Structure 1
Amino acid sequence: MTAVLNTQTTAVRVQPRSLVVLAGIPGAGKTTLLTRLDAEEPVTVLDSDQVRMWLEPRMPLPYKYWRVFVHLTHRLRVFWAALFRTGLLVVHEPSTRPGTRFMLVLAGLLSGRSRHFLWLDASAAQALDGQIARRRVVRTHAFERHVRRGMEMRARFEAGWVPAGFGSVTLLTRAGTSGGLRIIVS
């Protein structure tokens, strides 16, 4: 099932101990939305920025040299948390690549977690503004790939597509989540 929601605060219903993927193109507002997350049970939130912020003061090299390590560490944290943490798991990941979605589904399957996909929709201009505001701009060609794949995914979501291995998709808008995101566990 695909839902399009346009209210100030969006509520999403999931099963206990779910793996919820908050996806969207870089700069869409995923990190900002996660700061306004309200959940009915304890939640583990995993964002690659957590790894980056921890490593940044310890790394004497520019980010481009250790970016791959950040993303590998983030993915390992996702698997570890899926397998060994209790409660709800929310993962921040663009998820525009099928391989990334497969990795998230695999983590959910191996840990026995139901999987829910939340797509935070934003235009390329909005996302670029978001990147500039946070002072972390994705390389041009990488951003263009994310935008192209994101536009294709959005069209497929609106046609009722649910990515393989996920039980549901909720299409979120920036305006519709300006008041935050509430996850209801039932």
Structure 2
Amino acid sequence: MTLADTAPVRLHVPARSLVLVAGLPGAGKSTLLGTLAPDPTVVVLDSDAARGRLSARLPERTPYGLYRWLVHLLHRCDAVRVALTGPDTVVVHLPATGHRIRSGVLALARLSGREAHLLWVHAEPSEALDGQHVRGRVVRDAAFSGHAAKAGLVVDALRTGPPPGWVSARVVDRACARRGLALDK
């Protein structure tokens, strides 16, 4: 095994950056983000935090499907609030397989005076489904099929370079995501 096989994914993000970590549900975005070293100049926004805050206030065993919409709303509100008022670097975790979500994050970066960076964690749909089962949270078939249908197109487009407005766009596979993430400032 070489250093390249174990080295974390390095992403150069100067001050005032908004980093979108995107990919299929179950691709390894949360795993990747969980490896970031603590840094007071970086805020990482993962929907699991919003879910935790809400589930702590609900009766035990409340099915996630009943409040999923509220988790997503709270997570997006957190992203806007932190991007507008937060520290130098904001990292947002979203599937973002749809163009509207990526465009919204890009608009938020512009509005908050931040550089926009996109890191796509690529996994084949079968790998992403396995990842969902491991974490114990499986996206409904119809919703996941929609994500999967768009994801391949996004990956193909990103491999040609960053879309207009994005300073950088990078695709990493699931194995790279497991090695971790380091932000270079």
TM-score, scaled to structure 1: 0.90
Separation of aligned partners in 2, 1:63 and 1:175 = 29
Write out aligned runs for 1:45-124 (5 A): 45-60=44-59, 61-124=62-125
Q: Which amino acid aligns with 1:120?
A: V
Q: Secondary structure at the match of 2:30?
A: helix
- How many pairs are equivalent? 180
Structure 1 residues 148 and 37: CA distance shift in structure 2, 3 A? same
State whether residues 39 and 183 of structure 1, in contact with CA within 8 Å, keep that contact through their aligned partners in structure 2: no
Separation of aligned partners in 1, 2:153 and 2:15 = 31
Q: CA deviation at 1:38?
A: 3.6
Q: Give ranges in structure 1 of 5+ residues lacking alignment.
A: none
Separation of aligned partners in 1, 2:79 and 2:175 = 28
Q: CA deviation at 1:6?
A: 7.4
Separation of aligned partners in 2, 1:168 and 1:39 = 23
1:132 partnered with 2:125: no
State whether residues 8 and 178 of structure 1, in contact with CA within 8 Å, keep that contact through their aligned partners in structure 2: no
Separation of aligned partners in 1, 2:82 and 2:48 = 16
Q: CA-atom RMSD, angstroms?
A: 1.8
1:174 partnered with 2:174: yes
Q: Which amino acid aligns with 2:171?
A: L
Structure 1 residues 63 and 40: CA distance shift in structure 2, 3 A? closer
Q: Give ranges in structure 2 of 5+ residues lacking alignment.
A: none
Q: CA deviation at 1:40?
A: 6.8
State whether residues 41 and 87 of structure 1, in contact with CA within 8 Å, keep that contact through their aligned partners in structure 2: no
1:20 partnered with 2:39: no
1:36 is matched with 35
Separation of aligned partners in 1, 2:178 and 2:64 = 30
Q: CA deviation at 1:178?
A: 2.8
Separation of aligned partners in 2, 1:15 and 1:103 = 21
Q: Structure 1 or 2: larger strand share? A: 1
Percent identity reads: 39
1:165 partnered with 2:185: no
Separation of aligned partners in 2, 1:161 and 1:181 = 20
Runs of 4+ in 1 over 6 A off after TM superposition: none
1:151 is matched with 152
Identify the structure with bigger relative contact order (alpha carbons < 8 Å, sequence gap 6+).
Answer: 1
Larger mean Cα displacement after TM superposition, 63-72 or 27-36: 63-72
Q: Which amino acid aligns with 1:122?
A: A
State whether residues 162 and 168 of structure 1, in contact with CA within 8 Å, keep that contact through their aligned partners in structure 2: yes
State whether residues 42 and 89 of structure 2, in contact with CA within 8 Å, keep that contact through their aligned partners in structure 1: yes
Q: Which amino acid aligns with 1:107?
A: L
1:184 is matched with 184
Separation of aligned partners in 2, 1:7 and 1:111 = 35
